[in-house]
């Protein structure tokens, strides 16, 4: 009896399992059929934007003064007076320091007396020479004494002048490094540094370009697409760290004559107006230098660029209506957010610009027409001509 019950239970279990399996297979089949009936995913597409542009190369650099002067004592003595306030704007020729003049005034008076005596002796000898009443030896001796006395007088006057230490350039003066009452030295090999002055307007901007960039500029120059900055004051644009736009316009005024063997870079320099004296020497700035001639480029939004390991790609829709991956070579990103495509893309290609997450390579997609736009046109700046008043500097 028990064996019969066990056989009956086993039979019903097998029947239940078979029914459940059949039911699951039917559900899976229905799901696949439903998926097959779904329409292809919808994506927004557009042809790449064709536009005439110029490319910009960006550099990080530092502003430095056109003139930086170390104000040194040129005669020795006690510092008597300071005639400026720390950080003042001083004009060329302004008296900044006065060294005790009393010993130099005494030396000047003494030199004047010697000179006057020597001059009288020389004049007398010159009169006697006309009548041959003085020997050539005596005449030469008095002439030499006169010349020495005159040189001593000139030196005494110069030393007296050097007691007033004057600004050699117009600019901003630093703090006084020596206080009144201290002894300063004016020896050629041991002069006391009193302060420094930096010229603020105009101001230089220094930056480094790579050897590859240098070669590019040389080839552009030789092809006629863009003149080189070695001989041409090409325009350059800069912004400070708290500025958003490259609104400050200057001109190139120097490119070094050799590539640094340690860094593989070459130094360039530009000059900028600084009439408002906002820029201090030592500040950093970001500059833009024209990096190409005017040419027609293909542009796509930067956000549609995908990455496959080290390669970049965009998603297209081919003639069969299927998504397709296309590997491309990229150029720089423009301020508008559009990316320059160097190669790999054709003007008539249909690029997916929205709905990328729904597109899979080789699968059909439904397309909706979109557009890629960028306001304004790039204009080639006038080369070989300064764009600012720095031309007068």
CATH number, residue 365: 2.40.420.20
Residue 289 is part of which domain span? Answer: 57-65+202-294+381-392
Q: Both 269 and 388 in a single domain?
A: yes
* pLDDT by residue, tens only, the chain of 393 residues: 444 544 454 454 555 554 455 555 555 555 445 445 678 999 999 999 999 999 999 999 999 999 999 999 999 999 999 999 999 999 999 999 999 999 999 999 999 999 999 999 888 887 787 777 777 878 788 889 989 999 999 999 999 999 999 999 999 999 999 999 999 999 878 899 999 999 999 999 999 999 999 999 999 999 988 899 998 999 999 999 999 999 999 999 999 999 999 999 999 999 999 999 999 999 999 999 999 888 899 999 999 999 998 899 999 999 999 999 999 999 999 988 999 999 999 999 999 999 999 989 999 999 999 999 988 777 666 665 544 444 333
Residue 282's SS3 state is coil
- The number of distinct structural domains making up the chain is 3
Q: What contacts 10, CB < 8 A, 6 or more positions away?
A: none
DSSP character string of 241-259: TT-SS--EEEEEEEE-SS-
What burial letters (b/e) apply to 89-118, b meaning 16+ CB within 10 Å?
ebeeeeebbbbbbebbeebbeebeebbeeb
Q: What contacts 314, CB < 8 A, 6 or more positions away?
A: 300, 304, 305, 306, 325, 326, 328, 341, 345, 351, 352
CATH number of the domain enclosing 226: 2.40.30.170
H-type alpha helices, the chain: 2-37, 102-130, 136-162, 211-223
Q: What contacts 292, CB < 8 A, 6 or more positions away?
A: 54, 55, 220, 225, 226
Q: Both 91 and 225 in a single domain?
A: no
CATH number of the domain enclosing 73: 2.40.50.100
pTM of the predicted model, to two decimals? 0.75
* Lookup result for tokens 């700046």: 381
Per 3-state DSSP, what percentage of the chain is helix, strand, and coil (rounded to 5)?
Answer: 30, 35, 35
């Amino acid at each position: 009896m028990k064996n019969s019950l066990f056989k009956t239970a086993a039979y019903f279990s097998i029947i239940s399992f078979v029914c459940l399996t059949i039911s699951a297979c039917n559900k899976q089949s229905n799901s696949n059929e439903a998926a097959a009936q779904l329409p292809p995913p919808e994506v927004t597409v557009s042809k790449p934007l064709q536009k005439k542009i110029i490319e910009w190369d960006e550099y990080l650099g530092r502003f430095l003064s056109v003139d930086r002067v170390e104000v040194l004592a040129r005669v020795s003595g006690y510092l008597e007076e300071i005639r400026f306030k720390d950080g003042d704007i001083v004009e060329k020729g302004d008296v900044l320091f006065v060294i005790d003049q009393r010993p130099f005034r005494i030396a000047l008076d003494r030199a004047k007396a010697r000179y006057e005596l020597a001059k009288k002796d020389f004049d007398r000898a010159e009169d006697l020479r006309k009548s041959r009443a003085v020997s050539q030896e005596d005449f030469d001796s008095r002439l030499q004494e006169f010349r020495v006395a005159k040189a001593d007088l000139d030196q005494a006057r110069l030393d007296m002048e050097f007691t007033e230490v004057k600004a050699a350039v117009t600019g901003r003066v630093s703090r006084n490094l020596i206080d009144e009452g201290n002894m300063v030295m004016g020896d050629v090999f041991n002069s006391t540094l009193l302060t420094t002055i930096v010229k603020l307007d105009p101001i230089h901007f220094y930056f480094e370009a790579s050897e590859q960039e240098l070669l590019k500029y040389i080839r552009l120059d030789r092809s006629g697409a863009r003149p080189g900055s070695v001989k041409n004051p090409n325009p350059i644009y800069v912004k400070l760290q708290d500025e958003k736009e490259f609104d400050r316009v200057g001109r190139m005024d120097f490119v070094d004559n050799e590539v640094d063997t340690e860094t593989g870079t070459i130094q360039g320099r530009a000059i900028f107006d600084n009439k408002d004296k906002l820029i201090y020497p030592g500040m950093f700035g970001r500059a833009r230098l024209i990096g190409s001639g005017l040419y027609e480029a293909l542009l796509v939004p930067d956000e549609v660029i995908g990455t496959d390991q080290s390669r970049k790609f965009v998603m297209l829709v081919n003639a069969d209506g299927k998504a397709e991956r296309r590997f491309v070579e990229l150029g720089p990103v423009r301020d508008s957010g559009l990316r320059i495509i160097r190669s790999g893309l054709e003007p008539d290609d249909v690029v997916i610009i929205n709905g990328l997450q729904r597109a899979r390579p080789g699968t059909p997609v439904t397309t909706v027409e979109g557009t890629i736009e960028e306001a304004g046109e790039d204009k080639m700046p006038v080369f070989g001509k300064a764009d600012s008043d720095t031309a007068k500097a």
